[in-house]
């Protein structure tokens, strides 16, 4: 089990691939900083939404 598996009961854990890496679409040579920053921003917004929903229930 990886670290996120150990933390999942006490913390919100999110694992993701930047475009062009891992199982995501694209190639790593197509890396663009602005696109990567947008990917990270999306993940942060998603985590905030999940956290708000969990706290309000």
CA–CA gap between residue 9 and residue 35 (Å, rounded): 31
pLDDT at 19: 72
pLDDT at 55: 60
Q: Is residue 32 part of a domain?
A: yes
Q: Provide the domain count of the chain.
A: 1
Q: Is residue 10 part of a domain?
A: no
Q: Is residue 3 part of a domain?
A: no
Q: Is residue 26 part of a domain?
A: yes
CA–CA gap between residue 54 and residue 35 (Å, rounded): 29
Q: Is residue 28 part of a domain?
A: yes
Q: Is residue 1 part of a domain?
A: no
Domain enclosing residue 30, as ranges: 15-56
Per-residue pLDDT of 19-44, as tens digits, reads 777 776 666 666 788 888 998 999 89
CA–CA gap between residue 34 and residue 30 (Å, rounded): 12
Residue 57 above 60 pLDDT? no
């Amino acid at each position: 089990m990886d670290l996120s598996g150990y933390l999942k009961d006490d913390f919100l854990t999110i694992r993701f691939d930047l475009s062009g890496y891992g199982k995501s679409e694209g190639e790593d040579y197509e890396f663009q900083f602005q696109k990567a920053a947008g990917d990270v921003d999306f993940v942060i917004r998603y985590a905030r939404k999940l956290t708000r929903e969990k706290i309000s229930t």
